[in-house]
């Protein structure tokens, strides 16, 4: 197969870290090439170099047999390289088509400023590649999955031959992931190449032709997907065997910790999002919430953590009403929260790691006494959590924004799981984390349960919900369709209930086949 691009002995250092240590990487025409490795292994850095965002300290990039320097994304695009970043870069108030042509509209041929023509061209492109979008919709009104299609169209519009996707499926529902697969296969059919970064080894096995593994900034090896399996890849990534499944002890239920009675709320557009939701979680129990994203899970979590007002109903925490209290008062009652959107809600990227690790209780002892910060305690807390959660950072006073995506997430998880809590409300706890870290976080969540913490777990990963939950509530259209005990919860039934089918019908469906 024809090799179209080669990176040879790439070196990139940042203060205190060698992010890429003589990495070689090759892309062939018409292939899907997976790039995997632990959080902080250097994947994003390597691709940012290829896209001209970072200048390497050493090494060569060879395109079509010639040494090339790519010193800006403009050059990368000229060379046929396009990147969809780990965090999207779209402009919310603009339309789909406006975002796609952004930056090109000053070209000589006026076609680009004629919005009617631009809309038409975007539509044609979207049909050609099966990336369905409405060119006139505003970014802020479309789902994350559709925003991603816009990012992909944007680079196709610039005629990319090599498409780099940095953790594209981390934000997608299982259905959206399947649709993305189709798009990637058709891109390959048309002769394009795709570099696909992911932490999900089943995805690697499903769609890639080859896999390159990075560990600690070094390339460990490139293998043909047909000649490997998830277990082998996992041990190449982590350097040890990974269990991939945690053991759950029998549960010891305590008192009711959280009780919701007929809680309703509206979403940001003032449409009903939660409709009379009632549920109870007891000490020592994990209640999983399964459902297709956008069926009220986000609003449920926001109401519980004081980020959104309920319009009616009652929320009781150990017998006290907490409905419509603010986040700080709810936190004071030993409620921890891992939010789904960590960059927006979980971190202050401009602060250092130590300060991010105390957000929440930062204003009180042991971190602050009478308005004065106790730095020794702040740093000690940081040192402890960095070691315990294996946060890969040069130091505790490094700014959070320079950490790898997964290590930023570990900051939030460490902070929230590390405290003394009675209720944990957690959304997508392992999104973007590598398999070794997922195993570790799952163990920690189960330890909290065994210590008597009540846990509400929202996750788009059905396997995560199924392996951790004691009971599973399925949400559809703002309602809880039914609650399954873990022994009666099978993937098929949960899947049916996620489309609104009642528990009775879903369980009966099983008998009739």
Ligand X SMILES: Nc1ncnc2c1ncn2[C@@H]1O[C@H](COP(=O)(O)OP(=O)(O)OP(=O)(O)O)[C@@H](O)[C@H]1O
Residues that bind ligand X (CB under 6 A): 14, 17, 19, 37, 39-45, 392, 402-407
Contact assessment for residue 246 and residue 273, using Cβ atoms and an 8 Å cutoff: no
The residue among 50 and 304 lying less far from ligand X, judged by its C-beta, is: 50
Contact assessment for residue 448 and residue 214, using Cβ atoms and an 8 Å cutoff: no
Tell me the angle at which helices 435-450 and 405-418 cross, rounded to the nearest 10 degrees: 10
Minimal distance in Å, beta carbon 50 to ligand X?
12
The residue among 183 and 237 lying less far from ligand X, judged by its C-beta, is: 237
Token code pair at residue 251: 């549960």
DSSP 348: -
Distance of alpha carbon 379 from alpha carbon 358, whole angstroms? 10
The residue among 352 and 434 lying less far from Mg ion, judged by its C-beta, is: 434
Total Cβ atoms within 10 A of residue 151? 21
Q: Which residue is nearest to ligand X, using beta carbons?
A: 406
Minimal distance in Å, beta carbon 405 to Mg ion?
4
Total Cβ atoms within 10 A of residue 318? 16
Minimal distance in Å, beta carbon 444 to ligand X?
18
The residue among 342 and 471 lying less far from ligand X, judged by its C-beta, is: 342
Minimal distance in Å, beta carbon 133 to Mg ion?
25
The residue among 55 and 262 lying less far from ligand X, judged by its C-beta, is: 55
Minimal distance in Å, beta carbon 100 to ligand X?
26
Which does residue 40 touch among Mg ion, ligand X, none (CB within 5 to 8 A, set by kind)? ligand X
Helix (H, G, I), strand (E, B) or coil at 233: helix
Which does residue 97 touch among Mg ion, ligand X, none (CB within 5 to 8 A, set by kind)? none
String of b and e for 443-468 (b: at least 16 CB within 10 Å)? Answer: ebbbebbeebbbbbbbbbbbebbbbb
Q: Which has the closest alpha carbon to 47: 74, 20, 13, 67?
A: 20
The residue among 28 and 392 lying less far from Mg ion, judged by its C-beta, is: 392
Give strand pairing partners of 287: 456, 471
Helix (H) or strand (E) holding 184: helix 174-189
Query: The tokens 């199924």 sit on which residue?
Result: 466
Contact assessment for residue 475 and residue 273, using Cβ atoms and an 8 Å cutoff: no
From residue 199, alpha-carbon distances to 173, 250, 264, 310 in Å are 15, 30, 36, 36
Which does residue 169 touch among ligand X, Mg ion, none (CB within 5 to 8 A, set by kind)? none
Helix (H, G, I), strand (E, B) or coil at 139: helix
Distance of alpha carbon 224 from alpha carbon 228, whole angstroms? 7
E strands, 353-497, in order: 368-369, 372-373, 423-427, 454-458, 471-476, 479-485
The residue among 44 and 147 lying less far from Mg ion, judged by its C-beta, is: 44
Q: Which has the closest alpha carbon to 77: 5, 150, 2, 162?
A: 162
Minimal distance in Å, beta carbon 19 to Mg ion?
10
Minimal distance in Å, beta carbon 35 to ligand X?
9
Residues that bind Mg ion (CB under 5 A): 44, 405
Minimal distance in Å, beta carbon 40 to Mg ion?
8
The residue among 188 and 392 lying less far from ligand X, judged by its C-beta, is: 392
Minimal distance in Å, beta carbon 75 to ligand X?
20
Which does residue 168 touch among ligand X, Mg ion, none (CB within 5 to 8 A, set by kind)? none
Which does residue 386 touch among ligand X, Mg ion, none (CB within 5 to 8 A, set by kind)? none
Q: Which has the closest alpha carbon to 59: 18, 16, 4, 15?
A: 18
Which does residue 17 touch among ligand X, Mg ion, none (CB within 5 to 8 A, set by kind)? ligand X
The residue among 383 and 392 lying less far from ligand X, judged by its C-beta, is: 392
Which does residue 79 touch among Mg ion, ligand X, none (CB within 5 to 8 A, set by kind)? none
């Amino acid at each position: 197969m024809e090799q179209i691009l080669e990176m040879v002995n790439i070196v990139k250092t940042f203060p205190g870290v060698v992010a890429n240590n003589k990495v070689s990487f090759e892309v062939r025409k018409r292939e899907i090439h997976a790039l995997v490795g632990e959080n902080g292994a250097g994947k994003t850095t390597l691709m940012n170099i290829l896209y001209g965002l970072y200048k390497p300290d050493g090494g060569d990039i060879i395109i079509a047999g010639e040494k090339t320097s790519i010193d800006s994304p403009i050059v990368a695009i000229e060379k046929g390289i396009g990147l969809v970043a780990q965090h999207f870069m779209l402009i919310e108030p603009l339309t789909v088509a406006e975002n796609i042509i952004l930056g090109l509209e000053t070209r000589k041929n006026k076609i680009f400023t004629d919005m009617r023509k631009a809309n038409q061209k975007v539509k044609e492109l979207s049909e050609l590649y099966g990336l369905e979008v409405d060119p006139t919709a505003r970014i802020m009104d479309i789902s994350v999955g559709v925003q991603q299609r816009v990012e992909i169209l944007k680079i196709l519009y610039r005629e990319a031959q090599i498409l780099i996707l940095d953790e594209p499926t981390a934000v997608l529902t299982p259905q959206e992931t399947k649709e993305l697969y189709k798009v990637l296969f058709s891109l390959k059919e048309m002769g394009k190449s795709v570099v696909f970064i992911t932490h999900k080894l089943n995805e690697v096995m499903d769609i890639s032709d080859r896999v390159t593994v990075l560990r600690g900034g070094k390339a460990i090896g490139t293998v043909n997907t047909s000649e490997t399996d998830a277990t082998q890849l996992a041990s190449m990534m982590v350097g040890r065997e990974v269990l991939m499944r945690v053991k759950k002890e029998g549960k010891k239920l305590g008192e009711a910790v959280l009780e919701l009675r007929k809680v309703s709320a509206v979403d940001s557009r003032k449409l009903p999002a939660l409709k009379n939701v009632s549920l109870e979680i007891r000490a020592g129990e994990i209640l999983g919430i399964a459902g297709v994203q956008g069926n009220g899970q986000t609003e449920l979590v926001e109401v519980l953590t004081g980020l959104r007002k309920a319009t009616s109903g009652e929320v009781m925490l150990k017998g006290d009403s907490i409905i419509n209290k603010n986040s700080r008062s709810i936190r004071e009652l030993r409620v921890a929260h891992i939010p789904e959107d960590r960059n927006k809600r979980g971190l202050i990227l401009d602060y250092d790691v130590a300060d991010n690790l105390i957000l929440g209780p930062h204003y009180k002892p042991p971190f602050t006494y009478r308005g004065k910060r106790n730095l020794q305690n702040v740093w000690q807390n940081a040192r402890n959590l960095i070691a315990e959660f294996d946060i890969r950072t040069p130091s505790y006073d490094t700014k959070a924004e320079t950490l790898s995506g997964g290590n930023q997430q570990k900051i939030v998880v460490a902070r929230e799981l590390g405290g003394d809590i009675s209720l944990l409300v957690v959304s997508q706890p392992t999104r973007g984390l590598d398999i070794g870290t997922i195993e570790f976080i799952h163990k920690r969540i189960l330890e909290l349960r065994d210590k008597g913490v009540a846990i509400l777990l929202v996750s788009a990963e059905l396997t995560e919900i199924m392996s951790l939950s004691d009971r599973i509530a399925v949400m559809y259209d703002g309602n809880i369709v039914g609650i399954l005990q873990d022994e009666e919860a099978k993937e098929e039934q949960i899947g049916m209930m996620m489309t609104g089918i009642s528990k009775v019908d879903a369980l009966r469906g099983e008998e009739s086949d």
